[in-house]
A and B are shown apart, each in its own frame.
Chain A
Amino acid sequence: MIQAENVTMRFENFTALNRLTCTIPDGCIYGLIGSNGAGKSTFLRLISGVYRPNEGTITVDGAPVWENPAAKAGIVYVPDDLYFLPQSNMNRMASFYKTLYPNFSYERFQKLTATFQLNPAANLNTFSKGMRRQAATILALSTLPKYLFFDETFDGLDPVMRNLVKQVIYNDVMERKTTTIITSHSLRELEDGCDQLALLHKGGIVFESDVQNLKTSLIKVQVGFREPFTREKFAGLDTVSYTQVGSVASLIVRGDREGLAPRLSAMEPALLDFLPLTLEEVFIYEMEALGYAFKDVLM
């Protein structure tokens, strides 16, 4: 389990993280979204032991990460800007990783290399950006880590390869219960695989939720009446958003369809329709409910 408590990280006059607190349970795929400069990469560097927080504590399985080789042995960080040894190929990098990470598995490396159809003997300089990302992912997964951190990993991958990389990562999580943190500035990249999502804004987590709960927490209802009505008619509902055009109102309501349908039907509406919300829409409404304009946070 990763725990961050009141973590503050400053760079001269700029505060990248401000009293950030979060808990990431074992075996979870944790999606961290935020705009550029929100503090995503800083957070990953902190929990990888690259940075030492100015204030607060970061522990992995109860032990601090900073200057703790035992804790770091189970952590692999795949940054946005990848590093490979100069003039190396994947075989050389595998031997390098084997030196650094005690659990590195050549068997897994070969299997994954075959899956991605990469030539392990080819110079990495000849690889495209996407292929280099695949190579970094393969090397990271081959260390059989307990904690895997990906920073903007899906950027630069074509849709097919993106799905393949995601699939490989998710399979690994399923098989080995690896705790994975994936950062992105795009919610769509994360919505289909993460167990938990957190939104980082101006150095703090402004919103965090279980994805399944999130997806089912809000529902969009379109309802119409023959007689004139106002918002007060729905006072008994936990309404997040309300718009009315003529005799038809659109409501974003907290709750599920099964619970809401009998209550709304009892009002004898002329029109009643339940519409599913995308994760992005849920996010937008939840953010608005918290007082943030979504476009300010993610645009």
Chain B
Amino acid sequence: MSKFFSFKLYREGIKKTRLVGITIGSVTAALTALIPLARLLSPTVYYEPGYEPATTIISPSDFALPLLLLLFLAPILTLSMFSFLNKRNESDFYHSIPFTRPCVYFSFLASVLTWLVATLAVSLALTTVLWCFVPYTALSPSTPLLLFGAYFLATLLLTGFTLLAMTLTGTVTSNLLIFALLFGFVRISGALFVVCLESQFPLMITALTPGRLLLPEFSMPITLLTVLFTGDESTVFTNAPLWIYTAVISILLIAAGSIIYTKRRSEMAGKSAPNRILQHVYRCAVALPMAFLTVFYAIETDFDLQGIIILIVLTLIVYYLYEILTTKRLKNCLKASLFLPVLLVGGLLFGGGVAVASNVAASYAPDADELESVSIYKESSYYYGDTSYQELKTQSVEITDPKVLEFVADKLAEMKAIVSDKGVDAYQYPNRRHEIAYYEGDVYYEDALTYADPITLKITEKSGRVCGRTFRLTTEDYNRLITLFTETKEYEDAFLSLPAKEEILGFGLPGVWDAVTKETIWNSFVGEYSALTREEKVEYISSRDYYALSLYVWGTLGVKSFYNDYPLNPNLFPQTCAMVVNAANAEYETGFRDMLDAFKADEAIKVHINLYMFDNSNYTSGAGAHYLEALEFAEGCQAPADGNAVLFRLTFEYDRYYFDRYYLLSEADFSSFCIQLGMGQPDGYEKPAVIE
């Protein structure tokens, strides 16, 4: 008989929780399947009949909402499985059976996890199969696997928290309250502390401190919930530190639960705490976040008395309500009152902690010889795709050049001096004085320096300590810093590099849907980019232009995701542009020809035409023969042999059809085409070769 696992007990555990497991599992699976099923059964809601729409990539978020039920299933199943810990007779029974306590604990835990895994697997398998039948959708094989991993870890974490709460307490009410405390206390307190600290000293980057592990974004269930609202899937599904952290915390929670379970006395069942001392500890811990919130509010609002009083009353309500709910005795409130000073001390420690931490952070100014390296840091964005490949690559370049270190040390000393003398606002908003003067009717910017956008640096000391500081530099200093950086070869190499094949997760190119074609186009682009001179590359990468005719690339560099658009300039990438034109036009050749035929048959057909190009766009709408003539003109033009061409894309909305057409014309032909369409002469382009 194993000391840690019994298959028989595991089977009994499965039977014991089957009602909860089957009910919630079926509901979850059914709801998850409902989404693809709805698209399968009612296609007209999602796309027009008779028209072939673009393929939609199914993202993890398309699955996610019903799967959130699993986050509730985990604690419910655990509460149901280990409910015997809350009833004396049941607790005695399970402690008297001929199995070791770890064996009971782990066998029943395995039963809970089996239900969770089964629900997750069935839901995802069913949905994946159904998505395969939904037309015009594509599902990456990694999507269900990523969802499985993320949700399994989230449920494992919640199971761990529930188990720990159940082993620490002995009533359902106290189970739930301690669960909420364990799950939320660290996160709420951590978030309050960090927000408070950042508001006191906004120049520091808390994400670079070990304290970031305490923030809500490092809780898998919370991030899974927030991803529904933010849509930023990179915060969960490609965030390896979060996965590792969640797995480690879950294992630690389960291990702690097993130790407490083994040592737990059976008579604890039915009691809110093993003894009065722990009852005081639990009660104070439940109310402490409210005390922190009160201090936080006081600091943030510069001691708004009315709000503080309300929060103090709420803190007391939480404090006494816990006692009443868990012990069901009003008279215990009297004894509980003796421990109220704990909340006061806790609140003071919180406020004191924030003050000390912000002062320590504000006085940070190591000498240059103490610094190991510096890199440009940019905080992870909440929006997928905000971080470019170049940003990620350059972030990983640690500059050790003494000149850079000297410069940064000087600027840190300057920051310390200004913050110490005039306060953090004076550093953060150096022009505020002048702005105020302006509003007061005085001379604006009389003696103001011009400041560049804030830049955040990651500073690594030789001792291994890592800090992040946001610098507000004058334009002159900013340019000097960037020059110092770019003088470093490894920085420039990183800046000019393109994503490697293994780092890319996907491509996007309007009008081109075939993955192989897109990859071929990308390979062509990489080839032509490699052939550019270093100066051309610097100019191309530096002049970021977010416009329609771009090749979009997304992927992951290490554990961070990137999203780039590479504008398709026909002068730099003629071969790639020609491939794009051919590939995109082939996709909708039939539709386009049908439209031209329809025009020929009936000139009154209404059409909406959008024109997109590298640095311009235009729109026209209506009916008329000139559309047909303009299009026939463009179709008859040849791409210029000298490479000095204009690449543009037309999108058509015609009779509820929607498609793209690319053209690669000379500037003169392009001008002529625009005039024929009725869009007028485009600025900055050659006079038309043909004017009708």
Q: Which chain A residues have a beta carbon within 8 Å of chain B's beta carbons?
A: 11-12, 45, 48-51, 67, 69-73, 75, 77, 79, 81-83, 85, 96, 99-102
A99 near B12 with CB under 8 A, answer yes
> In whole angstroms, how far apart are the Cα atoms of A102 and B8 in the complex?
11
Q: Are B99 and A69 closer than 8 Å at their CB atoms?
A: yes
- Please pick, from B9, B95, B98, the residue contacting A70 in the complex, using a CB distance under 8 A: B98
Given A81-B89, A99-B11; 4 other pairs, CB 8 A cutoff: A50-B92, A75-B98, A83-B89, A100-B99
A64 → chain B closest CB, angstroms: 13
Q: Given the complex of chains A and B, what is the CA–CA distance between A79 and B90 in angstroms?
A: 10
A85 to B11, CA, bound (A): 14
Q: Which residues of B contact A101 (CB under 8 A)?
A: 97-98
Q: Mark B1-43, 1 if CB is under 8 A from A, else 0.
A: 1000000110110001000000000000000000000000000
Q: Which 10 A-B pairs have CB atoms at the shortest separation, nearest pair first?
A: A72-B98, A81-B89, A73-B98, A83-B93, A69-B98, A48-B96, A99-B8, A50-B95, A83-B89, A77-B96
Instruction: Tell yes or no: B456 within 8 A of A by CB.
Output: no
Against A, the Cβ 8 Å flags (1 = close, 0 = not) of B80-109 are 000000011110110111111101000000
Can you show 8 pairs from A to B with CB atoms below 8 A apart? A48-B92, A69-B98, A69-B99, A70-B98, A75-B98, A79-B92, A81-B89, A85-B16
Q: Main SS of the interface on chain B? A: helix
A83 CA / B11 CA spacing, docked (Å): 19
Residues of B within 8 A of A83 (CB): 87, 89-90, 92-93
CB closest residue in chain B, given A49: B96
Q: Is B265 an interface residue (CB 8 A)?
A: yes
Nearest A residue to B12 via CB reads A99
Contact A67 B92 (CB under 8 A): no
Known interface pairs A51-B265, A99-B11, A99-B12. Does A69 touch B100 (Cβ–Cβ under 8 Å)? yes
Instruction: Evaluate whether A100 and B101 lie within 8 angstroms (CB atoms) in the complex, with A45-B92, A51-B265, A83-B89 already known.
Output: no
| With contact pairs A11-B267, A83-B89, A99-B8 given, residues A50 and B98 touching in the complex (Cβ less than 8 Å) | no
In the complex, the answer to whether A51 meets B16 with C-beta atoms within 8 Å is: no
Closest to B263 in A: A52
- Total inter-chain residue pairs, C-beta < 8 Å: 61
B266, CB-defined interface residue at 8 Å: yes
Chain A proximity mask over B287-308: 1 for CB below 8 Å, otherwise 0: 0000000000000000000000
B12 partner residues in chain A, CB cutoff 8 A: 96, 99
**For the complex, is B463 an interface residue (Cβ under 8 Å from A)?**
no
- With a cutoff of 8 Å between Cβ atoms, the chain B residues found around residue A70 in the complex are 1, 98
Residue pair B9, A99 in contact (C-beta under 8 Å): yes
Contact A82 B98 (CB under 8 A): no
Asked whether, in the complex, the Cβ of B8 is within 8 Å of the Cβ of A50, the reply is: no
| Residues of chain B from 559 to 597 with CB closer than 8 A to chain A in the complex | none
CB-contact partner of A79 in B89, B98, B267, under 8 A:
B89
Cα-based distance from A99 to B88 in the complex (angstroms): 22
- What is the bound-complex CA distance between A289 and B192, given in angstroms? 71
Contacts of A99 in B (CB 8 A): 8-9, 11-12
The reply to whether A72 and B97 contact each other, CB–CB distance below 8 Å, is: yes
Contact, CB under 8 Å: A12 / B275:
yes
| Alpha-carbon gap, A70 to B87, bound state (A) | 26
With A99-B8, A99-B11 already in contact, the answer to whether A75 and B96 are too (CB < 8 A) is: yes
Residues in A with CB closer than 8 Å to B92 are 45, 48, 50, 77, 79, 81, 83
Distance A85 CA – B83 CA, assembled complex (angstroms): 11
**Chain A residue at smallest Cβ distance from B87:** A83
Q: Which residue of A lies closest to B90 (CB)?
A: A83
Alpha-carbon distance A51/B269, docked complex (angstroms)? 13
Distance in angstroms from B516 CB to nearest chain A CB is 56
Interface residues contributed by chain B, number (CB under 8 Å): 25
Residues of chain A within 8 A (CB-CB) of B99 are: 69, 72, 100
Contacts of B93 in A (CB 8 A): 79, 83
Known: A11-B267, A96-B12. A49 touches B89 (CB 8 A): no
Instruction: List chain B residues, Cβ under 8 A from A85.
Output: 16
Chain A residues contacting B95 (CB-CB under 8 Å) are: 49-50
Chain B residues near A11: list those with CB within 8 A: 267
- Tell whether A81 pairs with B88 under 8 Å between CB atoms, given A67-B101, A99-B12: yes
Shortest CB-to-CB span from B117 to chain A, Å, is 22
Of chain A, the residue at the smallest CB distance from B262 is A67
* Shortest distance between the CB of B321 and any CB in chain A (Å): 25
The residues of B with any CB-CB pair to A shorter than 8 Å are 1, 8-9, 11-12, 16, 87-90, 92-93, 95-101, 103, 265-267, 275-276
Q: Are B100 and A67 in touch, CB under 8 angstroms?
A: yes
Would you call B98 and A100 a contact (CB within 8 A)?
yes
Contacts of A67 in B (CB 8 A): 100-101
Residue of B nearest to A143 (CB): B98
Cα of A100 to Cα of B265 in the assembled complex, Å: 21
**Smallest distance from the beta carbon of A127 to chain B beta carbons, Å?**
16
Nearest-Cβ distance from residue B111 to partner chain A, whole angstroms: 13
The smallest beta-carbon distance between B264 and chain A, in angstroms, is 11
CB-CB under 8 A from A50, the residues of chain B are 92, 95-96, 266
B496 to chain A, nearest CB (A): 65
Which B residue's beta carbon lies closest to that of A11?
Answer: B267
Q: How many Å from the CB of B96 to the closest CB on chain A? A: 4
Q: In the complex where A45-B266, A79-B92 touch, is A100 in contact with B16 (Cβ < 8 A)? A: no
Nearest Cβ on chain B to A142's Cβ, whole angstroms? 15
Contacts of A77 in B (CB 8 A): 92, 96
What is the CA–CA distance of A3 and B267 in the complex, to the nearest angstrom? Answer: 23
| Distance of B265 from chain A, by nearest CB (Å) | 7
Closest CB in chain B relative to A72 CB, distance in Å: 4
Instruction: Say yes or no: A69 contacts B1, CB within 8 Å.
Output: yes
The complex places the Cα of A11 from the Cα of B271 at a distance, in Å, of 13
Q: Are A100 and B266 in contact (CB under 8 A)?
A: no
Q: Smallest Cβ distance from B278 to chain A, in angstroms?
A: 11
Task: Report the nearest B residue to A98, measured CB to CB.
Answer: B8
* Docked complex Cα distance between A69 and B2 (Å): 10
On whether A51 and B266 interact (CB within 8 A), knowing A72-B96, A100-B97, A101-B98, the answer reads yes
Give the residue among B16, B97, B99 with the most A Cβ atoms within 10 A.
B97
Most chain B Cβ neighbours within 10 Å, of A48, A81, A83: A83
Give the residues in chain B near A81, CB-CB below 8 Å.
88-89, 92
Which chain B positions have C-beta within 8 A of A69?
1, 98-100, 103
How far, in angstroms, from A27 to B469 measured CA to CA in the complex?
79
Contacts of A100 in B (CB 8 A): 8, 97-99
**How far is it, in angstroms, between the C-alpha of A15 and the C-alpha of B507 when the chains are bound?**
74
How far apart are B602's CB and chain A's nearest CB, in angstroms? 73
Complex interface: chain A residues within 8 A of B267 (CB): 11, 51
Q: Give the residues in chain A near B101, CB-CB below 8 Å.
A: 67
Residues of A within 8 A of B11 (CB): 99
What is the minimal beta-carbon distance from B87 to any residue of chain A, in angstroms?
8
Residues of B within 8 A of A73 (CB): 98
Q: In the assembled complex, which residues on chain A have CB atoms less than 8 Å from the CB atom of B88? A: 81
**CA of A67 to CA of B4 in the docked complex: distance in angstroms?**
12
How far is A100 from B93 in the complex, measured between Cα atoms in Å?
A: 11
Closest to A97 in B: B97
CB distance from B643 to the nearest CB of A (A): 80
Q: Which of chain B's residues have a CB closer than 8 A to the CB of A45?
A: 92, 96, 266
Q: Closest Cβ of chain B: how far from A148's Cβ, in Å?
A: 12
Which of B8, B89, B266 lies in contact with A82, CB distance below 8 A?
B89
Please measure, in the bound complex, the distance between the C-alpha atom of A128 and the C-alpha atom of B93, giving whole angstroms.
21
Closest residue on chain B to residue A102 by CB atoms = B98
Whole-angstrom CA separation of A281 from B8 in the bound complex: 51
The CA of A177 and the CA of B398, in the complex, are separated in Å by 80
Q: CA–CA, A96 to B12, complex, Å? A: 7
- Which residues does chain A contribute within 8 Å of B266, judged by CB atoms? 45, 50-51
Residues of chain A within 8 A of B265, CB atoms compared: 51
The CA-CA distance from A101 to B8 in the complex, in Å, is 11
Distance A75 CA – B95 CA, assembled complex (angstroms): 12
Scoring B95, B99, B100 by chain A CB atoms within 10 A of each residue's CB, the highest score goes to B95
Roughly how many angstroms separate A83 CA and B103 CA in the complex, as a whole number? 20
CB distance from B11 to the nearest CB of A (A): 7
